[in-house]
Amino acid sequence: WKLENRDPFLFFLVSFFHVLFPFVLNFPDSSAFNQVDYLLSFGGNSLWCKMVVRQYNEELKYLEKISSHCWRIKKGFQPNMNVEGVFYVNDHLEKLMLDELRNACRPGMVGGFLPGVKQIANVAALPGIVGKSVGLPDVHSGYGFAIGNMAAFDIADPKSVVSPGGVGFDINCGVRLLRTNLWEKDVLPVQWALAPRVSSQ
C-alpha cells in the first residue's frame, strides 16, 4: 500500500476495509496472477493500491459444471473460502456470468462491480457460513453479495455474521430476517405445516 496523503481517517478506512474484507486483499503470490494498480479516493484523499488478478483460463480451473444448469465454485477461487459455492443458471445467464468473469480478467479492467461468480465466492469466505454460498437462477452482480446470492450462518459460531441486508440497501430486495425463541427441535415436527403459513404472511 502506498498512501499519497497520510490522512488518519483514510488510514482507518483502509484498515477497516481490510478487516471486513480480507479475502479481497489477501491474494497469495503466484505466477498465475497479474498485478494491477488502482486508485481508492475518499473525501479528497487518495490511495494507490495493488490488486492481483488471475488470467481467465486460470479462473476457470476453479469452476466446474456439474449438471446442465449447475456450476460448482471450488475453494481457492477466492482466498479464505470456508465453503464451496454453487450457482444455477440457464444457457443465457451462464454466458452472461462467464462473460462477466472473462471481461474482469482483461488487462486494465478494474473498478465497477466484481463478477457475480467472484461475489458468490466472497460470501463463501464470510465467518460462520454453513453449507454452500448459493447463486439462485436470477444471479448477477450486486453490492457485495451477488443479487440472488443465498447464504446461511451458524449463530452458535461467535465469529458468525448476521446480515439481514446482504444485498439490498433500500427495500432490502425482499430479504427478511426472522428471529424466534424456538429451537430446531421445536420447529422440525411442524415445519411442513409452518412453511405455508409463514410464506402467506
Asked if residue 23 has pLDDT above 90, the reply is no
Asked if residue 95 has pLDDT above 70, the reply is yes
Asked if residue 144 has pLDDT above 60, the reply is yes
Highest-confidence segment of 11-25, 30-44, 106-120, 144-158? 144-158
Asked if residue 32 has pLDDT above 50, the reply is no
What's the pLDDT tens digit per position in 107-129? 766 556 789 999 999 999 999 99
> At 27, is the pLDDT very low, low, confident or very high (cuts 50, 70, 90)?
very low
Asked if residue 72 has pLDDT above 90, the reply is yes
What's the pLDDT tens digit per position in 79-93? 899 999 999 999 999
Annotated binding residues for Mn(2+), written as ranges, equal 170
| pLDDT in the model for residue 40 | 54
Residue 54's contacts (CB-CB under 8 Å, 6 or more residues apart) are 30, 32, 33, 34, 105
| pLDDT in the model for residue 38 | 52
Annotated binding residues, written as ranges, equal 170
Distance of CA 173 to the CA centre of its chain: 16
Residue 168's contacts (CB-CB under 8 Å, 6 or more residues apart) are 174, 175
| pLDDT in the model for residue 30 | 41
Mean pLDDT of the chain: 76
* 135-174 per-residue burial string, b: 16 or more CB within 10 A, e: under 16: beeebbbbebbbbbbbbebeeeeeeeeeeeebbeeeeeee
The pTM (predicted TM-score) of the whole model is: 0.64
C-alpha cell at 13: 478506512
